[in-house]
Structure 1
């Protein structure tokens, strides 16, 4: 439970309304909220009549209370009272009559009962409509002007977290009218408010402000070194545009100063996740409330005392309104800005953090090296042409992905090139490249520009390459005179040998088509590029323009899809064709015919990612066995697992993507796990955010910066407190954790990085488990730096449900998240992946991670353990008895997988094949012995013989024993002769050990 609400509600307060005091109290979960709702009025009746009447001054913040059911319950029997009639219902009061069936005593009036419809994890909270249950006989007994005989004594919420008190207890129209009549300004009123009472309503005033009035300034208390915050509630009496907030210095009586530079307002300015300073334009409509959250860092060296100054609020065409600000500074010095007390909104300062932004090289990558126009990075090299585009791209990984080669793998058969075709004669415009100028040379980043000019058009190229293999291009094409173009295109000429596979542009991972055509459909397709490559050499590209915004993903793509690039899309004239010619696969990214006037500019931006990113660390795969449950440490240790993934919705990590509230329990568990030799990772990603976040309402005050716009709805808490303009996300029924969808790229990523840093330092996490990703590679690099600080493990595994569906815009999870792969340690793909009806090439490209230097796990239906073993994958544990990976882990240990060399079926060097090309073999080789993994894609049961290159295998066939060890739920024990027929069931396989005698 949030401490903020304990402070505000549990001790309860009273509010004078119409000469009647109503207490707002915590119901301590004493009724069934799923059937009766989250709120009730406690009514006492001391008469003896058949009809009781009460007027309830409930001051509700919800719309149309008259459309929601009221249920009266007898406090003695807890049975429903049927004879009930409402005389009047509005947002401020309810006049109700009921039959006091048990005579004098307590009665409860539940006034927002609801039910959840739809999926349990994506509920649609529906409020019950009014019903008539009273009998005609009882109704006829009601007399005009029935006297008041019952009294509302308190309003209870199911728990403190659900309370409306105090910031959602609504002022009446008459109170607001009186307030305005006594206020001289006609443009705005500012209500200073303490940080402990976040402003929640943007269309109504809280009664608390009526009682406080408008004359007082802000009075607060802070500690030295504290990240302090407070609010200014701006109430617009007419539309206010371009609202700004500025601050004076605060001075003490002795002349000491808190400088104005120490203050900021997160609603009007900030630092984005790329470290760019920005100013926000705020418009507040008449009758609306805008919370202005003000931050100040109290200097640690400041002497105690009272410091006074003012804040000045101004809008276009208004006179400044000054608000007195007074902060009493205590003598106590708090560490870390009092970050460990987030209910005081101290962590709002994290929103403007620039932590880990410097682009320092992250292991295992190496610093970039430049020689002339060649740039070398880990396992790869880029050669630049005079126009700034790649003339050649090489990789130096072997086919097994376990090491490097001296001979380069060439990705391109010729340079990547733009063609700007003159519609009048069909010939490309001639552009003369002016050569490359390097503008930045650092270990982590190299940047350059180049200008190619002609009589009619010029092309200005800005490029950059980072240490992980990410190239980013801004290509600015400017018309020097009016031109008519039949096309502007970019051709990527892949070597056929380096472009065997394809993933993206509507294609599932697998063999690249010889011929393929694709068109833009951004409204329904999250597609703007593809990965094309082979296991040890590949290239992902993505087509963008200067207005690119990362779309939503994981079920929400259709709510915020891609923007069609003005350049590449060209009003849906653009597209992609792939044509294989000889040893080249030409990928033509065209934009179609258009006219450009003199001075017109188009941005044909694109990104490239050179794969693989690094070699495969197979020993990491064998040693780090993940356990996906917050079980007792002894249970986890006994399973053979070495790494624990703590999902959300449990006692240690209850609230989705907000692992801060129960951090003490988490630390205790992690300390115990570390003592047992286990590592612990936690679920913490960015996509949605728990409604339990202390900062929910400050973040809401930022408009759509942090939270996406939407139709609202979802679980009752969201409807009652967030009200509207949001997207309801994942919901946990038992915990009633109701998340809200994040908007995409925002300052929340600054907070996220700081939060990770705090968890490493204070809780001791060994990494994170990402459940899909809603941030870009900039944030991923920062997260990796946070997690690996001071030699921490920093393990990151990425889980994704299959994105190739309507809700996700038919993208491939691997293609969607490839920019994050350089910083991952393991993949876990995931729900809705089909491990039974897909090809080996699909496994290799979409699931295994091997072409990118990674390995993975399976999930859906337990995966296919035989096929998974071809790629070194097992399934999630604990999951099911029939797909228990512990049996395979034991086989790994018996063989001694650590130190073995993985040689996959995809490698020309694999020393074992089978007589059936639909039954594949991967070899795990070590001195004097080898593990052979067989898996079948044959359409029926079959038999095969092993075709062994004994020299490559490194085993003397005369001394060899071929045995299949017994593995529970996988295979029986069996001994085979070298030429013996081996039976293979459909969609299954074997693990076979070949040893020399004596091994």
Structure 2
């Protein structure tokens, strides 16, 4: 491997140019785990027991005096005990050590550390100074000793860990001298090439000292290139609200690159929803703020030298005019040169609006509106004159395999608000005229105003083609008013409220009553799903200041904000109980005083479930192999889709699959030639430290990266420094991730990246390991993944989020907004398949009430119970639960085009005589596969109650057999009516024909 080492002559870091040399070395030159990643190489040429060295290491780390120094004899590899540090600071270290081997080379390691904790979430502490020198050696130390070593170089364990050149600091004296040459007292602008991203935000790099004062930017670009350059503002006073203005760039022949082709990602942008915005840029005194400027070089422009200016203007300081000279070559860039991301050519993706238009995504159908009734796939919503739903209906069958003519009603009466005055009387609001403000295939919007002389309620709502309804409800006090309570009532029918999931409740049969209070500091709970298999509703309570919290181990570091309306200083809550013929969800906010002009936002979202019918044929035909492995081996096993995790040879860096993409493409091409599909791990919850854009993204403050206490592996602490959250670490490839802040422009980059991977690398979809973006980004992703006939398969894995660090939220509730675009669920790590009920399986694991099917993970799942829902585990996740035996049975039986009739279907033709033993039927012409799963706590004998007419089988000629299935059951035959033994927590797969 080629490593870059910085060689620093002993006198020369301040007087001589540093020299960058390339060496070929072994991958591991020293034990970084105990010695750290950096060392100085010194040559002792003197005599005696005392070697004095001054290492001008120019370190960026904080408090170097609090970190241990280890001196090692290069000849023997032994640690030298007799060491005395004289001076340790960021600029240099002066120390004296005993040269035990006499003249020769010695190594000085200056960032040794110790790691503890989980390998994937390591805690790294830098070792404190130690005194191992013997008293005799110290006592004999001369009062004065001259430097008698030569510093041969500063070495990093590899190029990726190197600080050179942009993290090698200038001394304070050098920095002052350089700044004085600019003759400004407010701030200095340092132009910098894209190849050298600014990485120090509180120190001037030595590179700028070496090159001397530079006041103009000069660069070279190809025609059609996405070109980037930096203007780094070094503040000598606090700077407020920096703006930036570009001029046209012109050449001598009159050709022009217009100013509209230039932009600055630090000042302006387009958010993940496609809305332009302006950032407020403040720079604290003694800080550096890089301004990353982007230039779309026109394809049709003439080659030549183009000149213009960039004007930087803080609100509280004089402007700086930076001349810009760009040489445009005759070469034509391919697709903006995005295949060279180390040149920051993909920063343009941050402002992408790709796939923003809300076009209808298959299998959904265009919305239609007639007489206040909106129709969408399998569902109808009738809008009341108030603007709220008067009725919500679904038309899915219990089997979830088709639609029916008669509706499943969700409501007993319209959804409505109550405003109760302090005296207990209701403040009834009159309805204004309902208006539809948008009618398109993907979205229908409407608005209304309801008011009286005390309150005005402005309602703005939209329904999208997948069944997502968004309400913005603005309540304004027209005079001072005291309210005893404000409630939103959602009156469910009993039939539509069989199950409940959320607000601290597992997915189970709905309890008789539920009483819940807000606790955002500890609980990621603002939503609940109430429903049945073929009709249901998730609703979420929010206000105008909602910010998506972090999830997956990090909720407590960025929790929900308590909605001022619903939460009302923790006075609000939800009560769900039967009231008359309804199961009433009473969402209350408690008493409050409103002054005239006060406004509150009682916003809420609805998701109408299911989203579509079950695609059982996809379930039987699509078999995942979740590991990077030989194509031929995977094909021989019988899998059809390969999931490539990160940390592998063709996808090594988490959520950044752009470095080894050529290897990935070669693998995918081979898979396609063998009839297999390939999906890759790629999401946005966290981002690899190998991302080329890491430091440009850091220049955006907390827009992309979440604030945090820092820490994690050495690399993050040594190069990112502080103010981040350390995330997943892969020791095998030394890949360290940083947590993203949530909703940001990185999602625009993500969409563009997924499009590029689909069109240029040939991926067939993505594997999501939990999700840190919302449904807006999910829709965009589905569009680009399925463009031009690509399959766009998405499967979602989630670890069980119902724990303290995740905020006690059900995974299905957390990710339900994404379910319309998924092909399969994989729930997941820490899911207990042994000690939870069949109702939990149905609602929280299987996906069936939402039109999805799933797989099991933890310990391979429970194969017997899983097959009741059509689920197996995934190869090669658990050897003891290898699903290939079940796959073979599927093929032998012919599962394609079977009709799945779950135990939850009232007309199921095969039932057991024990309510804790469930039976699901997979029916074909003249035969059926019956899956039996037991939730009984003891072994039991059961009898099958069979509707032979419904099965279409003559009982006098029927056979009941249990085919041999490896790791599942031995072959056996049963007579019609014979008792069938079922072991606890197990079951059977029986063929009746």
- How many angstroms apart in 2 are the aligned matches of 1:358 and 1:214? 48
Note the alpha carbon deviations across 1:402-427, whole angstroms, 9 max, x for none: 00110000000110001111212x12
Match of 2:109 in 1: 110
Indicate if the aligned counterparts of 2:6 and 2:18 stay in contact, CA closer than 8 A: no
Match of 1:454 in 2: 452
Deviation of 1:22 after TM superposition, in Å, equals 5.3
Deviation of 1:598 after TM superposition, in Å, equals 1.6
Deviation of 1:136 after TM superposition, in Å, equals 2.4
Report the TM-score when normalising by structure 1: 0.98
Note the alpha carbon deviations across 1:519-559, whole angstroms, 9 max, x for none: 00011010112010000000000001111111100011111
TM-aligned CA distance change 1:256 to 1:807, over 3 Å: same
Indicate if the aligned counterparts of 2:687 and 2:738 stay in contact, CA closer than 8 A: yes
Match of 1:878 in 2: 876
What is the SS of the residue equivalent to 2:53? strand
Deviation of 1:214 after TM superposition, in Å, equals 2.9
Pick from 777, 780, 783: which aligns with 1:779?
Answer: 777
1:484-499 equivalences under 5 Å are 484-499=482-497
Match of 2:13 in 1: 17
Match of 2:153 in 1: 154
1:739 correspondence with 2:733: no
Match of 1:934 in 2: 932
1:615 correspondence with 2:613: yes
1:537-548 equivalences under 5 Å are 537-548=535-546
Indicate if the aligned counterparts of 1:388 and 1:450 stay in contact, CA closer than 8 A: yes
Range 50-59 or range 771-780, more displaced: 50-59
Indicate if the aligned counterparts of 1:170 and 1:207 stay in contact, CA closer than 8 A: yes
Note the alpha carbon deviations across 1:736-755, whole angstroms, 9 max, x for none: 11100000000000000000
Note the alpha carbon deviations across 1:798-820, whole angstroms, 9 max, x for none: 00000111001111000000000
What is the SS of the residue equivalent to 2:911? strand
Match of 1:730 in 2: 728
Indicate if the aligned counterparts of 1:517 and 1:576 stay in contact, CA closer than 8 A: yes
Match of 1:687 in 2: 685
Match of 1:700 in 2: 698
Deviation of 1:135 after TM superposition, in Å, equals 2.0
Pick from 478, 481, 486: which aligns with 1:480?
Answer: 478
Match of 2:441 in 1: 443
Report the TM-score when normalising by structure 2: 0.98
Pick from 828, 831, 839: which aligns with 1:841?
Answer: 839
Indicate if the aligned counterparts of 1:377 and 1:468 stay in contact, CA closer than 8 A: yes
- How many angstroms apart in 2 are the aligned matches of 1:230 and 1:11? 26
1:578 correspondence with 2:576: yes
- How many angstroms apart in 2 are the aligned matches of 1:875 and 1:510? 23
- How many angstroms apart in 1 are the aligned matches of 2:90 and 2:441? 63
Match of 2:234 in 1: 235
1:585-984 equivalences under 5 Å are 585-984=583-982
Match of 2:73 in 1: 74
Match of 1:410 in 2: 409
Note the alpha carbon deviations across 1:92-137, whole angstroms, 9 max, x for none: 0111222222222221111101121111100011111111222223
Indicate if the aligned counterparts of 2:189 and 2:215 stay in contact, CA closer than 8 A: no
- How many angstroms apart in 1 are the aligned matches of 2:4 and 2:93? 25
Match of 2:325 in 1: 326
Note the alpha carbon deviations across 1:167-209, whole angstroms, 9 max, x for none: 1111111112222333321100000001111101111111111
- How many angstroms apart in 1 are the aligned matches of 2:401 and 2:816? 20
Match of 2:355 in 1: 356
Match of 2:202 in 1: 203
Match of 1:368 in 2: 367
Deviation of 1:138 after TM superposition, in Å, equals 2.4
1:50-199 equivalences under 5 Å are 50-199=49-198
Deviation of 1:564 after TM superposition, in Å, equals 0.6
- How many angstroms apart in 1 are the aligned matches of 2:310 and 2:48? 58
TM-aligned CA distance change 1:763 to 1:14, over 3 Å: farther
Deviation of 1:396 after TM superposition, in Å, equals 0.3
Deviation of 1:21 after TM superposition, in Å, equals 6.1
- How many angstroms apart in 1 are the aligned matches of 2:421 and 2:926? 66
Indicate if the aligned counterparts of 2:6 and 2:153 stay in contact, CA closer than 8 A: no
Indicate if the aligned counterparts of 2:7 and 2:153 stay in contact, CA closer than 8 A: no
- How many angstroms apart in 2 are the aligned matches of 1:183 and 1:794? 55
- How many angstroms apart in 2 are the aligned matches of 1:790 and 1:20? 58
Indicate if the aligned counterparts of 2:240 and 2:283 stay in contact, CA closer than 8 A: yes
Deviation of 1:141 after TM superposition, in Å, equals 3.2
Match of 2:986 in 1: 988
- How many angstroms apart in 2 are the aligned matches of 1:504 and 1:24? 59
- How many angstroms apart in 1 are the aligned matches of 2:949 and 2:42? 89
Deviation of 1:961 after TM superposition, in Å, equals 0.7
Deviation of 1:20 after TM superposition, in Å, equals 5.8
TM-aligned CA distance change 1:21 to 1:106, over 3 Å: farther
Indicate if the aligned counterparts of 2:5 and 2:155 stay in contact, CA closer than 8 A: no
Range 311-320 or range 357-366, more displaced: 311-320
- How many angstroms apart in 1 are the aligned matches of 2:15 and 2:131? 31
- How many angstroms apart in 2 are the aligned matches of 1:894 and 1:365? 33
What is the SS of the residue equivalent to 2:938? coil
What is the SS of the residue equivalent to 1:233? strand
What is the SS of the residue equivalent to 1:873? coil
Deviation of 1:653 after TM superposition, in Å, equals 0.7
What is the SS of the residue equivalent to 1:702? coil
- How many angstroms apart in 1 are the aligned matches of 2:190 and 2:203? 13
Indicate if the aligned counterparts of 2:751 and 2:784 stay in contact, CA closer than 8 A: yes
- How many angstroms apart in 1 are the aligned matches of 2:160 and 2:705? 20
Indicate if the aligned counterparts of 1:189 and 1:214 stay in contact, CA closer than 8 A: no
Indicate if the aligned counterparts of 1:21 and 1:153 stay in contact, CA closer than 8 A: no
- How many angstroms apart in 1 are the aligned matches of 2:944 and 2:177? 92
State the aligned residue count.
988
Note the alpha carbon deviations across 1:242-277, whole angstroms, 9 max, x for none: 011111111112121111111111011100001111
What is the SS of the residue equivalent to 1:80? coil
Deviation of 1:14 after TM superposition, in Å, equals 6.3
- Structure 1 unaligned runs (5+)? none
- How many angstroms apart in 2 are the aligned matches of 1:988 and 1:526? 35
Match of 1:464 in 2: 462
Range 127-136 or range 25-34, more displaced: 25-34
1:217 correspondence with 2:216: yes
Deviation of 1:925 after TM superposition, in Å, equals 0.3
CA RMSD of aligned residues (A): 1.3
Indicate if the aligned counterparts of 1:24 and 1:154 stay in contact, CA closer than 8 A: no
Note the alpha carbon deviations across 1:452-492, whole angstroms, 9 max, x for none: 12121121110100000000000111112111111111100
Deviation of 1:877 after TM superposition, in Å, equals 1.1
- How many angstroms apart in 2 are the aligned matches of 1:133 and 1:82? 5
Match of 1:41 in 2: 40
